[in-house]
Amino acid sequence: MDKYAYVYRNGEGLETGLKELRDLHQTSFKHVDDGAHEYNTNPVNVLELEAMFEIAEIVVVGVD
């Protein structure tokens, strides 16, 4: 985000940043392997990561 959607930005950089963001989103770890019934924070971590990717994409697309 700091590299392509910072204060000084241009369309080309935003397109590059969006492509890198989407590539990273595709390769991110999204598995909930922990089967613990108490204090299992993995589902929360997966949901938070998905939300961060969604917000980052909205910021990059809507900034120009």
Quote the number of domains for the chain.
1
Task: Please check the confidence at residue 64 and state whether its pLDDT lies above 70.
Answer: no
Residue 38 DSSP one-character state:
S
Determine the Cα–Cα distance for residues 19 and 3; give it in Å rounded to an integer.
Answer: 13
pTM of the model: 0.76
pLDDT tens digits, 1-57: 788 888 888 899 999 999 999 999 998 877 767 777 777 778 888 889 999 999 999
Quote the pLDDT of residue 58: 92
Residue 5 CB neighbours (<10 A): 19
Inside any domain, residue 28 = yes
Inside any domain, residue 4 = no
Q: Which domain holds residue 58?
A: 11-62
